[in-house]
Each structure stands twice: as structure tokens, then as C-alpha cells.
Structure 1
Amino acid sequence: MSSEEEWKRFYSAESARGVSMAYFVGAEPALEPKRLMAAAPFFPYGNIGTNGTIRIPREVPYRIGVSVWAGDDSTDRLLRGGSVFRKALEIYKGDRRAIMLFTLSRKTIDHIPKMTQACRDHGLPLTFNIYSPTTSFLNKLRENRPHDRDFFRFSTHSDNPLLSAEDLNRIRHLISEQMDAYPETVIYDHHYNRLMSAPQPPHEVDRQTGIAESCGSRIVEPMRYYGADLQQKAVKCCTPDVDCRSCRLYSGGWSSRFVPSATDLATIASFEAWLKTMRTLGRIFLLPREDGCISPAKPLSAADNLPEFAGVD
């Protein structure tokens, strides 16, 4: 286990290397708040992925993406082994650092309106991720292996979270409706919505390696991936077991839009649409200021009007 001083030296070295944004994901970053607070002096931008069951201290000045898997208790228990989304909504209610990240699978498409309303009621923005299977899960389906209570709670050919073309079409229409109805709550983009819900895969994949080499989430220099032991890992991306051929994860989808394509540059209208996509990306991944701009990290204080919360069981 690395000490706090070792983490600070690591952060200092990465900052000196030119890193301006740190992305904290894994089992649960909220379990190590001191490591998150120690990063603030070194990186002006940061993003933290969490399940939302532990409140990250107000001193951590980064965007917090709170993972949500369902909009009702029974489905949440089926997918996660326990229902946690209500607790996450209460813990981060009104916290300007937080954005709810709803991962949509076959069983949760119809939850989109109710999750939008729940986020609106709790003063939280909402964005979306699309379920993308791992190679381990696809192999399990092919081999007809039975359910287990660890990771594969429902996994038959007729009962699984995989999305069909019809499912993707429903996702596109429901998200579009909620975007138009609640523009202050739903942080998404119509062009990106059409791209990620199209029946064809969003990434071109190398036939020999099975890897989407041009995906914006590829871990290639200068981007690096480190484990909790501070050792650099040689992985294709931050979710290395996900099958690239069917990947619609929001991290790879949004980062692959950083560089405009020839289609984006074809007309003034298409370029303006790309710029709008980039503004939306910034709102999702970076901590916004009250004036609507994206701000570099700074320690938060009581003046930021973050609400106080009691513990929620």
C-alpha cells in the first residue's frame, strides 16, 4: 500500500510530465479521499467515477460521475446485487460537482423518463452511457455457462442486457424526448445520441487484433494508465475487457469526437454541430463554474454553497 507521500510524489511527477487532467476510476475511489484531495494541487482538472454510496469530501474540486444502473429497486438489485441509486441521489443532491451517469441496458430503457425526473427533483444533471458487453460475458453466453452471484446474474441467450437495433432506436427517441423536455437536467447532444444509438458499431475495429485502434480512449502515449499500486499498466483502454466491436461506452464515444472528422468539417452547420458536441463534452466531464464556463480545479469552500448531508443508511 503506497503512502500519502508516495502518491504526492507520483502526482508531482505526472504534473511535471504535462498531465493536466486526472481520471480516477476503479473499484471505488471514494474509499480513498486523501488520495483524491492530494491530487488537487497538481492537476487543474479531474474526473472521478463512483457508485455514489460514499460522499466524496467537499475539498475535492473535481467532476464526480455517479454511476446509476436502474431507476427502480428490483432492477437495481438484479443488476448490482443491491439497490443503491436512491442513496446516491440523496448523498449528492444539489452537489454542483456531481453528474448522474445512467448506463442503459435492455432492462432499463423504459427507466429513462423516471430517472430524468428523479435527477431533476434532486437538483442533479443527468447523462447517459450505453451498456457494452465484455469479452468474458460474450464468451459465457456462447458457452451457455450458468448464472452466478458475482458478475453474471442473468445471462442466457433470451435474458441478458445486450441491446438490439430496436432497443437502440428506443434509446435514441427516449433520450431525445427528455433532452427537449428537460434541457437543464439532461446533459447530452442530439448528434452524439444519433451516433451512439445507430445500429452499426461506432468504432472501426482491426480484424486481426479486434481492437478499435482509433478509439479516443486508447491508452497510448502521452496517456498512461496506473493501478492503485502506482505501477503503469499496459492495457488497451480503461475498460480493457470490453469488446471493441460492440463498445458504446461514453468514455470512448466522447473522446473519439475530440478531433473533427471530414464530415464535421464539410459545412458550417456540421462544424457548428461538432462545436456544440465539444461544449457538451466539457459539461459532462469537467466541473462547471456558476457562470457556465469550465473552471480549473480549486479547493471548494462553504462559499460554494455545497449542501450539508447526514449519513444515509
Structure 2
Amino acid sequence: MLQDLRRERLGRLKGLLAQSPKLAASYEDAKRVVRAFRRPAFYEISTRCNLFCEGCYHFSDDFHAPASEVNDAQAWDEFFAAEGARGVTMAYFVGAEPALEQERLIAASAHFPYGNIGTNGTIALDPSIPYRIGVSVWGVDEEVDASLRGASAFGKALKNYAGDRRAIMLYTLSKANLADVPRLVETCADHDLPVTFNMYSPTQTYMRKLGGAEANDRKYFRISSAASNLLWDDESLHETRRVMEEVMERFPETVVYSSAYNEWSTRSGPLYDIDPETGVARDCHSRMTGTMRYYKTDMSHAAQEKCGTSDAICSECRMYSGGWSSKFELRDEDVSSPAAFAAWLEMIETAGRIFLIERDGQPARTRDRMNLSVAAMEPAE
């Protein structure tokens, strides 16, 4: 049955390319992007962090650092060498804060063709590390920034990464900071830094504290309450969609985002097909299934169906990692018309710009934006 569906989808794809041959080059570019992600893996580089972000994804109530964290540099090099031999094409380096363990990132750079590092930007990464750096930003205004993260981080990130071709600023959208978006983009443009967007997604820990009307603490639940929190509603989702479209139009050279993805990620209700028994998203491509693995700092990995953000609630999840990875496979709606196919191509091209950079010695992937205009979808005469 699955093979029949894929064969039918492939037939539609061939029909679309025959109908709109000007999209063929864009499709070849899209295939190159998708191949870079054909075997991804996640590596927890550090269990320490120097910030206290509200509703932190990492430090849930049941978080326990591995009892036997590996600290030997040679062991990390051998571990990454084995992972490279396993065929990992895309390595995601996460934490807590990976910049606190940079020797591990340097060791990894010899073994993976592509990598993406998630960092809060307060510590500069060694120039020899050749991977994409996603610099997490939660607020532009110093007061908003400090309230959401426990300390002001944005100014430090700008100083550390202005003009660094590896860096892309990753702004985590929430109701609390949406008004800062235009100023954020202007500031990033002034510092020669591209910017893309994540959407805050609540964890079970965060929701439990809201539901139990727990008192605020001095760490990861400092400012939220049942009356005022980071949760999305239809009104704020609609406003987010509007603001994103506005900044994409005003700053096309700075904002790395997609209209099609923006429309999908801001729709009401769950973004995924949720298993009613487990609550797990059945069609999220960040799940630890198949060859996908998530390693802790003791180099262990657990076979699990959920993603690396184990405390996240799938029905509430709008995180960019799961969202973008779930777009890599063509679906029926993506080949329903030339316009839908062009929208998918635009999303894949955008994902490539967000997560990948070409390192020295790699064949260059086209860096020009794809021609996805209406004219490009017109059938050839």
C-alpha cells in the first residue's frame, strides 16, 4: 500500500515537472538539500548552561545529568569517527549550551559533512568550527530579553557573531516578544546577520506548573502564570502570521523564512497527526525512529519514538526543528498542483539556507534564491 502511494505521488511529480519544466532546476536543488539530511543524528554536547530560559526545553523537572559523562577528548574523537562511519550526514549539536564544550565540537568537525549548532550566543565559537550556528534569541529589548532568559543575551550575541557567515539568528517567537520582531530584523540587518524564526512550544513541565498554579521560582518559571504565559491562541497565531509576512516583505535579504511554512506553522490546532493513545506525533520527522539517534553526554542513546526534546508536548509543538524536518518528504498536498509544488520547493530551499553552509572543499550548492514566481509555473509553449 505504501509503495503504491509513493508510486502514485511520483507519477504526479513527473506530471508537474512536465507541465512546468522551469521548476526542474529548482527540484534538483531541493534534492541536494534533502540528501544532506538523509541520515541525521543529535548529539548532546553539554549538560550545563549559563542562562535560565523561561519554560526551558532542556531542564525539565525530571532532568538528570548522566552519571558518567565522557570528558576524554580522544574518546569524543573516536565516538564521532564511528558516527561518521555509520553514515551520519547531518549532525545536530545541542545541549544545554554546546559552546561550553567547544573541544567536542572541534573533534566532530573532522567527521561530518554538515552540522548545526544550537547556542545562546553569549560565548563565541572557535572560528575553526565549520558548521552552521543557530544563535537563539528571545528578546531585543534588554528588559524583555532578561525576563525571558534570566540575563540579557542578545547584545552579547551581536558582538560575538556580527558578520560571521556561519551564524543565523534564531528568534523564538512567543506572545511576550512578538512586538520586538521588526526591531530585531532591523538590528540583524545592521549587523550583517540573517535571521529566522522558531515558535515557543510548551513542555509538560511548563504546562504542569501552569495547571497547578505553582509559584514562580528563580530559574525556569520566573514570570509565567495562568493569566499571563507563553502559550499560543488563535489571535496570537494570526498576528504572528501577519508580522512574519510583513518582515519577509520588508527585509528579503535578511529574513530567511518561507510564506508557505509560515502559513502552516501558524494554523490553529495541532500541526501533526497525534496518536490518541500515546500523544506522540506520528508524522513528525524529528522522532527517534529508524537510523535517527539522540546521544547523551555519556554517549548512550535510548531507542524511543519521541524526539530529542522528550518533555515537549506533540499536540502543542511548533518547534522549527520538527517542523522543517517534516517538510523534507513530499506529501500528497505538495504535488496537488504546480503552485503547491512550487511552495514545497520554496520551503526546502529555505530549510537549506537555515541549516546548511558549504564548508571549504565542498562542491558549492547554488546560493541564489530559486525562481518560484508565478511565471516559473507556467507551462512551456
TM-score (norm 1): 0.91
- Equivalence for 2:286: 217
Match of 2:323 among 244, 250, 253: 253
Match of 1:269 among 307, 314, 339: 339
CA positional deviation for 1:34 = 1.3
- Equivalence for 2:237: 168
Structure 2, unpaired ranges of 5+: 1-69, 368-381
Q: Name the SS of the counterpart of 2:237 in structure 1.
A: helix
Match of 2:101 among 14, 22, 32: 32
Distance (Å, rounded) in 2 between the aligned partners of 1:216 and 1:84: 31
CA positional deviation for 1:37 = 1.1
Distance (Å, rounded) in 2 between the aligned partners of 1:274 and 1:124: 25
Q: Name the SS of the counterpart of 2:335 in structure 1.
A: coil
User: Is the counterpart of residue 5 in structure 1 residue 78 in structure 2?
Assistant: no
The AA in structure 2 aligned to 1:216 is H
Distance (Å, rounded) in 1 between the aligned partners of 2:364 and 2:245: 23
Greater mean alpha carbon deviation, residues 152-161 or residues 46-55? 152-161
- Equivalence for 2:161: 92
Distance (Å, rounded) in 1 between the aligned partners of 2:364 and 2:160: 24
8 Å contact 1:133–1:246 — kept in the other structure? Answer: yes
Q: Name the SS of the counterpart of 1:32 in structure 2.
A: helix
Q: 1:195 to 1:21 in 2, by over 3 A?
A: same
8 Å contact 1:283–1:294 — kept in the other structure? Answer: no
User: Is the counterpart of residue 114 in structure 1 residue 186 in structure 2?
Assistant: no
Distance (Å, rounded) in 2 between the aligned partners of 1:294 and 1:233: 37
Q: After TM superposition, list the pairs within 5 Å mapping 1:11-90 onto structure 2.
A: 11-90=80-159
Q: Name the SS of the counterpart of 1:169 in structure 2.
A: helix
- Quick one: higher RCO (CA 8 Å, sep 6+), 1 or 2? 2
- Equivalence for 1:279: 349
Number of residue pairs matched by the alignment: 295
More helix by share: 2
8 Å contact 1:282–1:294 — kept in the other structure? Answer: no
TM-score (norm 2): 0.75
Distance (Å, rounded) in 2 between the aligned partners of 1:270 and 1:166: 26
8 Å contact 2:200–2:230 — kept in the other structure? Answer: yes
User: Is the counterpart of residue 144 in structure 1 residue 213 in structure 2?
Assistant: yes
Distance (Å, rounded) in 1 between the aligned partners of 2:199 and 2:313: 13
Which aligned segments of 4 or more residues in structure 1 are displaced greater than 6 angstroms? 289-292
CA positional deviation for 1:288 = 4.6
The AA in structure 1 aligned to 2:190 is D
Deviations 1:72-108 (A, max 9, x none): 1111111111111111011100000000000011110
State, as a whole percentage, how many aligned pairs show the same letter: 48
8 Å contact 1:105–1:161 — kept in the other structure? Answer: yes
User: Is the counterpart of residue 293 in structure 1 residue 293 in structure 2?
Assistant: no
The AA in structure 2 aligned to 1:99 is I
Q: 1:247 to 1:294 in 2, by over 3 A?
A: farther
Q: Over aligned residues, Cα RMSD in angstroms?
A: 1.6
Q: 1:42 to 1:261 in 2, by over 3 A?
A: same
- Equivalence for 1:228: 297
CA positional deviation for 1:53 = 0.7
